[in-house]
Chain A
Amino acid sequence: DGGITQSPKYLFRKEGQNVTLSCEQNLNHDAMYWYRQDPGQGLRLIYYSQIVNDFQKGDIAEGYSVSREKKESFPLTVTSAQKNPTAFYLCASSDSLRGNTEAFFGQGTRLTVV
Chain B
Amino acid sequence: AQSVTQLDSQVPVFEEAPVELRCNYSSSVSVYLFWYVQYPNQGLQLLLKYLSGSTLVESINGFEAEFNKSQTSFHLRKPSVHISDTAEYFCAVSDDTGTASKLTFGTGTRLQVTL
Check A106–B96 contact: CB distance below 8 A.
Answer: no
Q: Considering the complex, which residues of chain A in the window 21-77 have a beta carbon less than 8 Å from any beta carbon of chain B?
A: 33, 35, 40-45, 48, 50, 56, 58
Number of B residues, CB within 8 Å of A = 27
Check A100–B90 contact: CB distance below 8 A.
Answer: no
Check B43–A41 contact: CB distance below 8 A.
Answer: no
8 Å CB contact of A110 from B41, B96, B100: B41
CB distance from A19 to the nearest CB of B (A): 19
* Chain B residues near A100 (CB-CB < 8 A): 32, 51, 94, 96
* Chain A residues near B42 (CB-CB < 8 A): 107-108
Sample of 14 further A-B pairs with CB below 8 A, known A97-B99, A100-B94, A100-B96: A6-B43, A40-B107, A42-B4, A56-B100, A58-B102, A90-B43, A90-B44, A92-B43, A99-B94, A99-B96, A100-B32, A105-B44, A107-B43, A108-B43
Measuring CB to CB, which residues of chain B are less than 8 angstroms from any residue of chain A? 4, 9, 31-32, 34, 36, 41-46, 49, 51, 90, 94-96, 99-103, 105-108
Measuring CB to CB, which residues of chain A are less than 8 angstroms from any residue of chain B? 4, 6, 33, 35, 40-45, 48, 50, 56, 58, 90, 92, 97-100, 102-108, 110
